[in-house]
Structure 1
């Protein structure tokens, strides 16, 4: 993702999360969300609830499930709401 695409996505996301600032998603952002296999609603939910959804690591469920911590070699836990948002958008 280019820096320009990233900034457009951030701008659009901010407009979705703040009342009175709704805007149309730029075409370049649509392609980014498509590459991430996310829809607009799931993306906004992930951004607005990020701190609640991900504790120690963030990522797709299959990646987190396959990853062990560097210290202690334990598996990471992914909250069910995060798993639902990310699995539903495959």
Structure 2
């Protein structure tokens, strides 16, 4: 049952933060939270746990500079997840 309350708390938190930052539109398409959680999980497990939040910040910063930030965020998250997946295997 705590998983459900965690999911509810996360949803409420993300909605409140988006509202506070004037980014309500960024969540309109859905899947944003899952995308960020997947990205940070890939980085935390493949590269460095402390690198995960920094990576999410950098992806968000880069996406914010793009013409279509939502599309760019998805593209960048996929690209960086692939980078993290292969990290250290060379």
Same-fold call, TM > 0.5?
Answer: no
Larger C-alpha radius of gyration, 1 or 2? 1
- Relative to the length of structure 1, the TM-score reads 0.30
